[in-house]
Amino acid sequence: MGYKVAVVGATGNVGREMLATLAAREFPVDEVVALASERSVGKEVSFGEDEVLRCQDLAKFDFKGFDIGLFSPGAKVSAVHAPRAAKAGCVVIDNTSHFRMDPEIPLVVPEVNPDAIAGYTRRNIIANPNCSTIQMVVALKPLHDLARIKRVVVATYQSVSGGGKEAMDELYNQTRAIYMAGPIVKNKFPKQIAFNAIPQIDVFMEDGSTKEEWKMKVETKKILDPNIDVVATCVRVPVFVGHSEAINLEFENPISVEEAFDALQSAPGVILEDRREPGGYITPVECVGDDATFVSRVRVDTTVPHGLSLWVVSDNLRKGAALNAIQIAEHLAENYL
Ligand code: 2RA
């Protein structure tokens, strides 16, 4: 049996990746529709190698009879249209930040808390976490199971694709302008992104942290364990795709590098690539197009009683967004629909 699936925000970076991932993983579909805002109606998007879909108007679309809605249209649009789809009987998997911290709505990373999916019946909506949280909790879960994580200190190095297509264009155009002595135009980022690093992702909160940093903290608690404390510094770097994270962990119980290696090696969704030699680790350009969360540079952090440091890299458009949503859809289809 196949499902009727609507992809909402189909022209964006994540929407396109959702369509590609649905096709690549051969998700059982009877029908797939691509939905977008009025100005994108009629635009063509690819579904797999040889199918092309024409975008329909989200505002006019009737979700009745559709089984799954994969949403990535922006938080304000999801706030209006996800509940409308859910009410029509379509289970929404929403990639925006709008529903993530709603206690009635499950926030799911299938390798970490798949059982939470069962809670979708409360509102017919499941939230997909933020990209930087997803890759972190995939790497942390096996270590938490082993020695209980107390505290996480993380610095991120996030690619511009997390900010959408315009952000990618801005990096390209600024880089070109620097070589061609043209003007540096800033629309999307508050500072020059080409050949630079910007310690701000999303808006500022009252306590001086940014919303991206806040998301990493509260989402980790909701998905993995409310007792884990997280402090994050989120930085945008001139990389097109692939988020990196330098993570310091403090555990309740002793844990050795060897034990961490064993746990990471057998953890779902994780690839451990850790040779202590030049190049014996994964960088963002190497993770592009891959489903895994890569862990490297595992070593003891001697500044706390039981500490480890690690480097975690993943394709933010795949595991950080589209793939995670489709893995949720797969669990849903297999166990609940
Ligand atoms: C970013 N976390 O990288 C966002 C995307 N969801 O900007």
Expressed in angstroms and rounded, the spacing between residue 131 Cα and the centre of ligand 1 is 6
**How far is 296 from 129, CA to CA, in rounded Å?**
23
pLDDT of 67 over the 80 cut: yes
**Radius of gyration (Cα) for the chain, nearest Å?**
20
Is there a binding annotation on residue 13? yes
pLDDT for the residue 176 = 97
Expressed in angstroms and rounded, the spacing between residue 176 Cα and the centre of ligand 1 is 24
| Per-residue pLDDT band at 3 (split at 50, 70, 90) | very high
- Quick check: is 55 catalytic? no
Task: Spell out the CATH class of 3-128+321-335.
Answer: alpha beta
Q: Does the CA dihedral 222-223-229-231 come out positive or negative?
A: negative
pLDDT of 1 over the 90 cut: no
- Ligand 1: nearest atom to the Cα of 159: 3
The domain defined by 132-159+197-316 carries CATH number 3.30.360.10: yes
pLDDT for the residue 23 = 96
Helices (H) and strands (E) in the chain, counts: 8, 14
Q: What six digits make up the tokens of 258?
A: 């060897």
- Ligand 1: nearest atom to the Cα of 162: 3
pLDDT for the residue 163 = 94
For 137-142, what is the mean pLDDT? 98
Q: How many residues does the chain have?
A: 337
Strands 243-251 and 149-158: antiparallel
**How far is 297 from 302, CA to CA, in rounded Å?**
15
**How far is 69 from 63, CA to CA, in rounded Å?**
8
Residues 6+ apart with CB under 8 A from 65: 4, 89
For 270-294, what is the mean pLDDT? 97
Expressed in angstroms and rounded, the spacing between residue 254 Cα and the centre of ligand 1 is 34
Residue bearing the CA closest to ligand 1, atom 7: 162
Per cent of the chain over pLDDT 70 is 100
Give ranges for CATH 3.40.50.720 in the chain: 3-128+321-335
Please check whether residue 237 is in contact with residue 158, taking contact to mean a CB–CB distance below 8 angstroms.
Answer: yes
Is there a binding annotation on residue 135? no
Q: Does the CA dihedral 80-81-82-84 come out positive or negative?
A: positive
| Per-residue pLDDT band at 38 (split at 50, 70, 90) | very high
**Residue type at 201 in one-letter notation:** I
- Quick check: is 90 catalytic? no
**Of 194, 195, 191, the residue nearest 172 (C-alpha):** 194
For 80-97, what is the mean pLDDT? 97
pLDDT of 177 over the 80 cut: yes
Expressed in angstroms and rounded, the spacing between residue 306 Cα and the centre of ligand 1 is 31
pLDDT for the residue 97 = 93
Is there a binding annotation on residue 161? yes
**How far is 264 from 13, CA to CA, in rounded Å?**
30
Is there a binding annotation on residue 84? no
Q: Which residue of the set 81, 243, 306, 331 is catalytic?
A: 243
**How far is 34 from 41, CA to CA, in rounded Å?**
9
